[in-house]
Amino acid sequence: MLQSILDSKPLIWMLVKREFRARYAGSTLGVLWNLVHPIVLVAIYVLIFSQIMASKMGGDTSRFTYVIHLTSGIVPWFFFSEIVSRCTMVLMENANLLKKMALPEEVLFVSIFITSMFVHGVSLIALIVLLLAAGAPLSPIVLFAFPAMILLGVAALGIGMVLSVMTLLIRDVGQFVQIALQLAFWSLPIVYFPEILPDKVRSLIALNPLKGFFSLVQSLFGSPVAGFNPDAYWMMILLPFGAMMIGITFLKNHRCEILDTL
């Protein structure tokens, strides 16, 4: 599969460019909207929670606590959920392309990963710049959030590979994925602090294999309530590569069924 991806670099680049152009085809700014949207979204969060609502959040020292906790968790979540959602439907959406060309299915998934990483990487850069401009006390270790997001994206890619094949075989899977993503979002301490939860609920949330990724990014941004457990490093390594191995195997074993179904 790796060799197939390396041999298909021009095709992957074409798919990435097609994706960027297709998102805002016909608009004046075109590809630039891919930069404008994440920057505006992050700016709104920072402005509302660090400035407008600062007086409701306990003074100058704590006014960044919630905005950092929320934004540093929600940017990786948008990245993860976009990859899973788009990978789930990618084989169906590109059925004509797969039938007409001898196209390795894996290049479709790689193009989604690259596109999403670019868009949400810009969001992460915008978040860092805006927080610094607002006066948030960030340290250089915040840059380690980028490799953490890459590992999270690899995990999402493996999950998406499995779900894409399942969606071809059982069309209702796509609807279940959207529900599952909503449940997963609220099972992670992104919009709330872990410390407000009952002990039993907090213990259950700690079992979520995705929690370590989000807690680490939040901690790197300086959230004092992220509660990152160093033991989660093992899961952050095993989950991405385990998910990718399962996804690749699932895709390979069902390759004939994919073509027949399409």
Asked whether the predicted pLDDT for residue 102 surpasses 90, the reply is: no
Residue pair 131/42 in contact (Cβ under 8 Å)? The answer is: no
Percent of the chain with pLDDT over 70: 84
Query: Which of 24-28, 100-104, 127-131 has the highest average model confidence (pLDDT)?
Result: 127-131
Closest CA to 67 of 116, 130, 121, 141: 130
Write down the pLDDT at residue 2. Answer: 67
Contacts of 30 (CB under 8 A, 6+ apart): 21, 24
- pTM of the complete model: 0.85
Encode pLDDT of 230-242 as tens digits.
Answer: 877 888 899 999 9
- The H or E element containing residue 180 is helix 173-186
E strand intervals along 116-230: none
Domain chopping of the chain, boundaries: 8-261
Residue pair 88/160 in contact (Cβ under 8 Å)? The answer is: yes
Q: How many residues would you count in the chain? A: 262
Distance, CA of 96 to CA of 98 (rounded, Å): 5
Encode pLDDT of 200-246 as tens digits.
Answer: 888 888 888 999 899 999 999 988 777 777 877 888 899 999 999 99
Q: Rounded to an integer, what is the distance from CA 110 to the centroid of its chain?
A: 14
Band of residue 57 on the pLDDT scale cut at 50, 70, 90: very low
